[in-house]
Structure 1
Amino acid sequence: MPRPLKETAVTTTQLIPAAQASLDTWHQLIATNSMTGLDAIVADEVVFRSPVAHTAYPGRAAIALVLTTVNQVFRDFRYHRSFVSEDGHSVVLEFSATVDGKALKGIDMIRFNDAGQIAEFEVMVRPRSGLEALAAAMGARLASQKDVLTGAA
């Protein structure tokens, strides 16, 4: 006879207060379509991982450039759901948008340091047609900014 499944308690996990404050600021920046104030919630040693680049982009200047640019590229951007890690230092935000008429869905995976600043920001996007449209639009706008993206500027 099969053993019954054991019930486990589900705990509600929340971000640490400093990270929650930064996430609230992030949502305000998105709502106002402005990255002014981003520096205050980003750690000096921040790393951004793009869905279209093999190498991570280090530093505040790179993440500000990428996020400002993608904010101009995305249309009909909207967050849908969020998931918080057990330790309260990470959140995954599910989103949808369009780029040049191509619909896409994606996630922002954000890890905060103990001070609540964004230490890592990684983006994943699907389907391929949406990812290709995003890559083309971002590439056209960022081609001349390689020094900023590599941290050489």
Structure 2
Amino acid sequence: MSVDPTETRRRFRAAVEAGDNAAAVATFAPDIVLRSPIIVGQFEGRQAVGDLMAAVIETFEDLHYTAEAAADDGTQILAFSARVRGREIDAVDLVRVNDEGLISEFVVHIRPMAGLAAVAAVLGPRIARGPVSRALVRLFAGPLAVLLALVDPLVPRLVRTRAG
């Protein structure tokens, strides 16, 4: 690899922390693929992933990175926390950098489920293809986010979280 992938990770992180979508997109390969936890498929290409990143930068509150590392295979790992509609989320980005030093693959993992539902409710309508799609996303994602927000505080009482 001609470019250190750690440097790409640092540039991406700095761009996101500064709220600079153009600088974040500048780290993306033209054929970038992003796998998101909010859809079954994937986002493909710099434009689609850039639009998603713009929505993330605009809607995630207090987004701050909490850890970063590199795996043995060169995969870059970034952990962050943020709030979405008042819900705390923790997330991990797994990023692969190509030989040109650009992000070619991006996989996002988010927890807890109520936080993921809030992310889907906020981002879904922003990235939907048109007015009908936006309405359908709102129709399904909004109530799911509300339901999970109501159930979330009960889960520790309903689920065994310790041995014994």
Bucket of the pairwise TM-score, normalised by the shorter protein? 0.7 to 0.9
Asked whether 1:128 is paired with 2:121, we answer no
Residue type of the partner of 1:63? V
- Could you say what secondary structure the match of 2:22 adopts? coil
Q: Corresponding residue for 1:26? A: 12
Q: 1:67 maps to which residue?
A: 53
CA distance in 1, matches of 2:32, 2:9: 15
Shift of 1:42: 1.2
Query: For the residues of structure 2 that align with 1:126 and 1:95, how far apart are their CA atoms?
Result: 11
SS of 1:80's equivalent in the other structure is strand
| Contact 1:17 1:116 survives alignment (8 Å) | yes
Distance apart, 1:72 and its partner CA: 1.0
Q: Say which structure, 1 or 2, has more relative contact order (CA 8 Å, 6+ apart).
A: 1
The secondary structure found in structure 1 opposite 2:66 is strand
TM-score scaled by length of structure 2: 0.73
Task: Say whether 1:81 aligns with 2:67.
Answer: yes
Q: Distance in 2 between matches of 1:129 and 1:44?
A: 33
Q: Which runs of 5+ in 2 are unaligned?
A: 132-164
Conserved? CA contact 1:19–1:115, under 8 Å = no
Query: How far 1:104 moved relative to its partner?
Result: 0.8
1:95-110 aligned within 5 A: 95-110=80-95
Residues 6 and 70, structure 2, Cα contact 8 Å, conserved in 1? no
- In structure 1, the gaps of 5 or more residues are 1-14, 147-153
The structure in which a higher percent of residues are helix is 2
Conserved 8 A contact 2:17-2:64: no
The corresponding residue for 2:98 is 113
Deviations 1:36-91 (A, max 9, x none): 13343211211011111000111000110001101111001111112211133x11
SS at match of 2:20: coil
Give the match for residue 139 of structure 1. Answer: 124
Deviation at residue 17 of structure 1 after TM alignment: 4.2
Query: Aligned with 1:27: secondary structure?
Result: helix
Residue number in structure 2 paired with 1:41:
27
Q: Structure 1 segments of 4 or more deviating over 3 A?
A: 15-18
CA distance in 1, matches of 2:35, 2:58: 18
- Offset of 1:27 from its aligned partner? 1.8
- 2:37 aligned to 51, 55, 58, which one? 51
What SS does structure 2 have at the residue aligned with 1:36? helix
